[in-house]
Amino acid sequence: MWWLAVLVTIVAVVGAYATWTVTRVERLHRRAGAAEGALLAKLDDRAETVLRFVGNPGFEEVVALALSVVAVPADTQRQRELREYAENDLTRALRELDAGQVWSEDLEAANRRVALARQIHTDFVRDAVASRSLPMAVLLRLHNRLPRPEYWDIEDPVH
Instruction: With respect to residue 92, please indicate whether it lies within any of the assigned structural domains.
Output: yes
Instruction: With respect to residue 8, please indicate whether it lies within any of the assigned structural domains.
Output: yes
Instruction: With respect to residue 53, please indicate whether it lies within any of the assigned structural domains.
Output: yes
Instruction: With respect to residue 110, please indicate whether it lies within any of the assigned structural domains.
Output: yes
Instruction: Output the pTM of the full model.
Output: 0.84
Q: Which of 114-151 are b and which e, b meaning 16 or more Cβ less than 10 Å from the residue's Cβ?
A: bbebbebbeebbebbbebbeeebbeeeebeeebeebee
- Is pLDDT above 90 for 144? no
> pLDDT tens digit string along 51-73?
887 877 777 788 888 888 888 88
Instruction: With respect to residue 70, please indicate whether it lies within any of the assigned structural domains.
Output: yes
Provide the angle, in degrees to the nearest 10, between the axes of the packed helices 2-51 and 104-131.
160
Residue-number span of the structural domain to which 39 is assigned: 2-145
Q: How far is Cα 73 from Cα 135, in angstroms, rounded to an integer?
A: 36
Contact between 53 and 63 under an 8 Å Cβ cutoff? The reply is: yes
Instruction: With respect to residue 154, please indicate whether it lies within any of the assigned structural domains.
Output: no
Number of domains within the chain: 1
Among the ranges given (22-31, 88-97, 111-120), the one the predictor scored with the smallest mean pLDDT: 88-97
Instruction: With respect to residue 153, please indicate whether it lies within any of the assigned structural domains.
Output: no
Instruction: With respect to residue 119, please indicate whether it lies within any of the assigned structural domains.
Output: yes
